[in-house]
Amino acid sequence: MSFQLHWTPEATRTFEELERAARSAAEKSKGPKSSKQAGLFKQVAKAIQLLGENPRHPGLQTYAYDSLEHPFDQGEKVFEAYAQNRTPGAYRIFWCYGPGRGDITIIAITPHP
């Protein structure tokens, strides 16, 4: 089952910043090798694609996260999914189900502390 993705303004802003950084680095790069920023954006974009297709995909390593409140229903859970793994400051995607049935809201995209 595919899910309809919704974004908070914070998540949208972070995603767009990552995309701009990747595009800028690609313009400055003269070799065939992609930049760290391009690689990071590619990993985050792929994780979001997987999230929309199957939030339980094993590569996302999704689990409940207790430190954030659900934006629509305080009784529901917020989840954390991996965009990167085994990387210092690895990026994570915080998300929840809702606002409606078949919807997922991306709350934040952030590096792991």
**pLDDT score for 94:** 97
* pLDDT digits (tens), the chain, 113 positions: 799 999 999 999 999 999 999 988 877 766 666 788 889 999 999 999 999 999 999 999 999 998 888 888 888 999 999 999 888 889 999 999 999 999 999 999 999 86
For the chain, the domains span: 4-111
Q: Which helix (H) or strand (E) holds 86?
A: none
Q: Could you please report the per-residue DSSP string of 26-76?
A: HHH--SSSPPHHHHHHHHHHHHHHHHHH-TT-GGG--EEESSS--SS-TTS
Residues 81, 87, 89: CA angle, nearest 5 degrees? 75
Per the structure block, which two tokens stand in for 31? 């070799």
**pLDDT score for 26:** 78
CA within 13 Å, CB half, 93:
33
**pLDDT score for 32:** 60
Domain 4-111 CATH class label: alpha beta
**pLDDT score for 31:** 61
**pLDDT score for 76:** 93
Q: What global pTM score does this model have?
A: 0.91
